[in-house]
Structure formats: structure tokens, C-alpha cells
A and B are shown apart, each in its own frame.
Chain A
Amino acid sequence: MAQMTMIQAITDAMRTELKNDEDVLVFGEDVGLNGGVFRATEGLQEEFGEERVFDTPLAESGISGLAIGLGLTGFRPVMEIQFFGFVFETMDGVAGQMARMRYRSGGNYHSPITVRSPFGGGVKTPELHADNLEGLMAQSPGLKVVIPSTPYDAKGLLISSIRDNDPVVFLEHMKLYRSFREEVPEEEYTIELGKADIKREGKDVTIVTYGAMVHTSLRAADELAEDGIEAEVIDLRTVSPVDMETIIESVKKTNRAIVVQEAQRQAGIAANVAADISEEAILHLEAPVLRVTAPDTVYPFSAAEDVWLPGTKDVIEKAKAVIDF
């Protein structure tokens, strides 16, 4: 096994699938010679050639159109949107077209596309780079939305995403790219899409979360433990569809839940999870399901990021609120 950062695990997953399946193509802005602005595709063009790993002209709608067309002709595209805020340039390509290809053709055509893209706060990017738009994606039927929080998960989930015959939006939190390393098997393995993972077991309160907030929540859980509160931290890993089974199982044990997301409060993943818990487990709940989120502004100009982003303190506060309810 090797120690890898998340970005290395992501590169490794692409390398694995480029090797396994000659129809896999990796492309986007600056992904070829330059190896991507975060070096996610470092060395891949050299290893697999310019026909399989290549730069595109600068146009996100062009990139997804190309992916859809290549998908129709037997390829398995792994396209990159350089930063996920740029997805607005191709909302039609992603949510209007690839998401509906199977449906529109009555099941005859499909879009075996992985849309990889960095996103996420805390690294002081300019506007429209960090935005948490997973809720928007999750609201587009036909798309799966995956957000890994660890190097190990990233590799297994990305391989599964690439192998999936339907479009998967695979969002990579920038703050996690190089924040830590962990053991990642060099051989191939998959992690089933749509399955959450319990990152910490506990009996007093369930914290449902994903992405960078997994780590914020784990830190909060450590602090809560000092006060004798054992929090269970569930990492969704796939935010659409959500693994409600694992969540409900946990809530039956803890009778209390909070949902933590980096995104704004309104109409997001957390709202959906909270609603589903209420619908499916109301009789097991000792308190309302509370949310920890960012406020409903546009993603902040970077100088205000630190206060805007939910922090450990916010998680602890809400966890205690459902316990003291």
C-alpha cells in the first residue's frame, strides 16, 4: 500500500481506468501537457498519449457536448470542469442533456460520463470557483453526485463513477486535495455509489455530513467526546442518491440527528436529508433534526470565508442543542 493524498488517489483512479479500458478518455482545459491546474492528471498524457488524455478548447459547453458525443460512439469520457463554479456555462450539457439521454431515448442511448471538478471553500479562490453546487446537481434527475472526503474513498468512488454507465458528477473538495495522506491500495478496488460510510461510531447523536465537513464534524465529535457525548459521524460519500438506510439505522440508535453541509441553507442536501429522516423516523426522534449550514448569500468574497464557512463550534452547538432539547 502507498501513502497518498486525495489528489494522488484521484490520479491513480484515472490511471487505473485508462489502463483497464481503452475507451476511457480524459479531457478538459489544461489537463494534457500541464497535468491539470491541480495536477490531477499529472503524467497521464505522457503515459497514455494525446488521443486519450487531451486539452480541449476553452468552452465548458463544448467539453460536455464532446463528452456526450463521444459517449454515444462507444467511449467512456472522464471530463473535467476546471472549477465547479463554471458548470453554469454548461448546465444544459450536464443537467439538460447527459442527465436525460437514457430517458429521452427510452433507454436506448446513455451517457457513461464522469464529470470531475474541484470545488469547496477555505482556499481563498476568486469568485465562482469554490461554490457548493451539489444541491443543484442533486436536483437534476439522471445525475449521481459523489463527493469523497478521504483519499481511500476518492479512488474507489472514482473508479466506480467511471465504470457507471450513467453520468456521475464527481466533486473534489479543494481543501482536501493535499490536506492529509492515508494508506491507499495500489491495486484497483471500487466503492459502491450510493453507500454512506460511518466514519465514527457513537450512540448519542448522529451527524450526517459529506466532503470537507466530514473532518469538521470529526473534530467536533472529538470535542463532544470530552463532554461525554458520543457522536456518530456518517459520511454520505454520494449525495445523490442518499443512503437513507444507513442514516435511519443510526437514528434509530441515537434518536437524535443533525445534518452538516458547507453549502448555503436553502434547498440543499441537508434539507433533503432532514426531511427524509422526519418522514421515515419521526417516532424515533427525541428532537427536531437541525442543520449546520452556511448562510444564504452568494459564496463569499474570500476575505470573509473563515466566518462564513460552518466550523467545529457550529457543529458542537447544534449537536448539544438536539441533545439538550
Chain B
Amino acid sequence: MATKTLEQIENQFETFQILNEKGEVVNEEALPDLSDEELVELMERMVYTRIWDQRAISLNRQGRLGFYAPVAGQEASMLGSQYALDKEDWILPGYRDVPQIVWHGLPLYQAFLYSRGHFHGGQIPEDVNVLMPQIIIGAQIVQTAGVALGLKRKGKENVAITYTGDGGASQGDFYEGMNFAGAYNAPAIFVVQNNQFAISVPVEQQSAAKTIAQKAVAAGIRGLRVDGMDVLAVYAATKEARENALNGNGPTLLENDCYRYGPHTMAGDDPTRYRTSELDDEWEKKDPIVRFRKYLEDKGLWSEDKENEVVDKAKEDVKAAIKKADETPKQKVTDLIDIMHEKLPANLQKQLEEYREKESE
């Protein structure tokens, strides 16, 4: 009995794909309703983000950037999902999900300040509905249920979307977040970017479940496994999840299967200790930019010149953002004391004076 139930569930979670590795449409009826301009814009964002990622890695190596988690290989998953959002929707990111919040409105130089460990990096502009990247894996997932419920109760036509990884899907917070959002029918979208590894641990070791998407079943919400290297599939799946959430049909869990080409972070991770180059090659063949480029070229929407323009623009923007980050006043301990409470308690008031003196020495 019980065996049959499990098999029935697991076998339903096939991967949703629109563009195959060669850039051919394999699922015509699922093609999202995007104009040519929008298709081009999506491509621009992916190309731009890959360049920014490369620059960030090299800036980190030069000691000009701090904590950084590379994103190459995850552009479709990150940017396709963000593109399906409304400007007023909320994003609750993990530490790797910086591209989504930048494309949602966080200035790039602030993302760099965050990386450098400067508090201004976390001062999200008022009209940008994102949270700071979360370091604690899973913490943002439960908070998403709260933001989603809050949006609904305030009568907003908006959703909250959160991102975690295949490792993050093992945290209790992951189940709690989905379960709470489901229980309140809150307009939330839970994205698991399954890049196959949690630092060194392969996804197969995280759980006995065959897919992450099927974990939605336990929470009683929708779940879908998506080809996370296919930007059109990611976009379409997120768009549908958003519509369902707003129509009162409940939250959705999306498992975007993808890969991180680079190291886990720039702080000494060595992927050759736990991944084979064959696996790397296998995934690079599925590259999101390669296949989408092919698709757009076939439609006459993309060219080498166009791509070079985007590359140059990305490089210039990164340079300008680093310059702006460099020009930001140095962070002081007194700044940090200041932002601890609305009204400083006596102990901190005293320490504020002590550190003012120290900092003026």
C-alpha cells in the first residue's frame, strides 16, 4: 500500500522544459507570452550577470571585494524567476541570490558593499522590496510565509518569493515555511535552486526523496521540477506560480535544476575535491546562455555585436559601482552602535562616547 503511494507521487515529478539544450522549443504550448523586446532583455540580463560574476570573482581575488558566492550556471534560474515578478513583489534571498535583488532594484554598489561587510550594503532603498541576503540557511524561508501573509492581509496584489538551495531544502525551516504558507493560503513562491551540491555534499545525500519538488506534497501545496538551465521554463513556471498565488490557489514550490560552475564561495572552496570534470562538462553543455542565444539568433533577435555591447556595459557598470563603493565613507564602530536600537540604551550610549573618542584618535 504505502510503497505504491510513494511511487505514484515520485513518478509525477517530471522536469518541465521549454527550450532544450540546443535551443529548440520542445513544449510549444507552454511558451510564455513575452515580446521580442522582453526576450532580448532577459538575454541581456543573463549575459550582463555572467560578466559581473566574472568581474566579482577577479575583484575578490585582488582583495577588492569580500564574501562572494559565484552564480555562473544559475543565471536562468535566478533571472528568469525574478523577471516574472512585479516590481512590488518581495524577494527574500539567500547569500547567493544577489543578482535577483539587484535586478529588483538594489544598486550594484550596495551589493558590493554588502560583500565587503559594510552596513550600507544592507540599507535597502525604500522602494525596493527585497531583504538582505540571508546567511543562515533556511531563515528566509519561514519569513517568506510571513511576508506573503502580510501582503495578503494588507490587500496587496503581490507575492513573496524566496530562494534556497538543495541543501537548504533539508532544513526544518524549509518545511515550516511551506507548511505555514499553505496553512494560511499565503501568496508565496518557494524556489529551490538545486545546483546539485551543498558545498561538497551531493543532493543525493540530502534526502531519500527522489526530487525536491515532491516535498510540496507533504505541505499540501503545488510543486514543480523545472529545468533551471532553461530561462523560458523558469519564467513560465514562476509566472504561473505567481498567478496561482494571487488567485487564491496557494503557494508553489519550484525546484530549478541547475549547476554552479564555480566554487561554492571565494573563501577557499575547491570543487575538484568533490566534483568530477565530467560532471562539470555535462552541465556546461546545458548552459542557459548558450541555448537562449541560439533560440534568439534563430529568431533574428540576437547578434555578436549586441552581445559585445552588453558585455562592455556590464564591465563599465561594475567599474563604476566599485568606484562608488570605494567612495562610501568607511564604516565605523559608532555607526554600528547607532543602528542597534531605535533609542540607545544607557550601556551603548556610554560605549558610543568611548568609541567616538577611540575613532578620533
Contacts and interface: CB of A to CB of B under 8 A. Distances in A.
Contacts of A304: 117, 331-333, 335-336
Interface stretch (B51-59, B166-174, B293-301): B166-174
Interface of A: 29-30, 32-35, 37, 55, 57-59, 61-62, 85-86, 88-89, 124-129, 265-266, 295-298, 300-305, 307-308
Contacts of B199: 29-30, 34, 37
B206 interface: yes
B103 interface: no
A61 B199 CA distance: 19
Contacts of B359: 307
Contacts of A307: 332-333, 355, 358-359
Contact of A265 (B135, B170, B198, B347): B347
Contact of B337 (A37, A265, A295): A295
B273 interface: yes
B50 interface: no
Contacts of A128: 135-136
A33 B168 CA distance: 20
B180 interface: no
B83 to A, nearest CB: 27
Contact of B170 (A34, A62, A295, A298): A62
Given A34-B200, A297-B333, A298-B340, A303 B117 contact: yes
Interface string B107-127: 000000000111101100000
Given A266-B347, A300-B336, A59 B170 contact: yes
B118 A303 contact: yes
Contact of B137 (A35, A58, A62, A296): A58
Nearest to A35: B273
Complex A-B, nearest 8 residue pairs according to Cβ-Cβ distance, in ascending order: A302-B117, A34-B200, A58-B167, A57-B170, A301-B117, A295-B351, A58-B170, A126-B67
Interface of B: 66-67, 95, 116-119, 121-122, 135-138, 167-168, 170-172, 198-201, 205-207, 267-269, 273-274, 330-333, 335-337, 340, 347-348, 351, 354-355, 358-359
Contact of A29 (B122, B201, B347): B201
A297 B355 CA distance: 12
Nearest to A55: B201
A86 B134 CA distance: 12
Contacts of B330: 303
B332 A125 contact: no
Contacts of A32: 200-201
A295 B333 contact: yes
A34 B273 contact: yes
5 contacts: A57-B167, A57-B207, A85-B135, A129-B135, A303-B66
A307 B333 CA distance: 7
Contacts of B122: 301
A297 B201 contact: no
A261 to B, nearest CB: 15
Contacts of B347: 265-266, 296
Contacts of B355: 295, 307
A59 B171 contact: yes
Given A58-B206, A300-B336, A124 B201 contact: no
A126 B117 contact: yes
B348 A127 contact: no
